[in-house]
Amino acid sequence: MRIVATLALVAVLSGCAVSSPFEATPEEAAAKSYVPEGPPKLTLFTMVNNTTGAGGHTALMVSGSQQVIFDPAGSFQHQLVAERGDVLYGISPAWVQAYKSAHARNSHHVVTQEIVVTPEQAEIALQLVQQNGAVAGAFCTRSTTAILRQVPGFESIEPTFYPVQLMEQIAARPGVVTDRYYEDDEGNVRDGIVPAEG
């Protein structure tokens, strides 16, 4: 029994792991809705190992009529953030920072790649992530590529299980704004989550 419990804990704390058992209702998710400022965008998050350069996790933020993070098989949880089907709701700028801070540590940094899209593209992406449902462990990048391939203008994205391969595909697109975020703390995703307001 102890071995099973240990394996379950390891799975929950890894970057691309299992989904949260705490599922928000549609009403709870709607109540947390955050409408972003600025143009509609898609933002790819890639967690990259500082030693090997390998990818550890992929997530996709959609900034359209509301701002959400599709965190497939992710470990980010907070009582103030509603999660439904691996979609995090109420993602204000403060929560974007909290999300990056939770994943950046001495072993990994976070690469963000922003792409300005049309309102139509953003809404299609929003519907796709909301309809996708929870993702099995280790399928974070594969599920993200499957969603992107259904967004007009992104059909050329090649399916892959590897976060860095998807990151490189996005980097080759015109107009991508890339940032790398580093922290030097130890610990895991949940250790890095701090309450955010706004």
Non-local (6+) Cβ contacts of 86 within 8 A are 19, 70, 71, 72, 73, 74, 132, 133, 134, 135
Q: What is the pTM of this model?
A: 0.85
pLDDT of residue 185: 73
Distance (Å, whole) CA 135 – CA 80: 22
Specify whether the CB–CB gap between 45 and 100 falls below 8 A: yes
pLDDT (average), residues 7-15: 37
What is the chain's mean pLDDT, rounded?
A: 87
Q: Rounded to an integer, what distance in angstroms lies between the CA atom of residue 167 and that of residue 31? A: 32
Q: pLDDT tens digits, residue range 116-159?
A: 999 999 999 999 999 999 999 899 999 999 999 999 999 999 99
| DSSP, res 49 | E
Residue 57 pLDDT grade (very low, low, confident, very high; cuts 50, 70, 90)? very high
Q: What is the pLDDT of residues 82-105, one digit of tens each?
A: 999 999 999 999 999 999 999 999
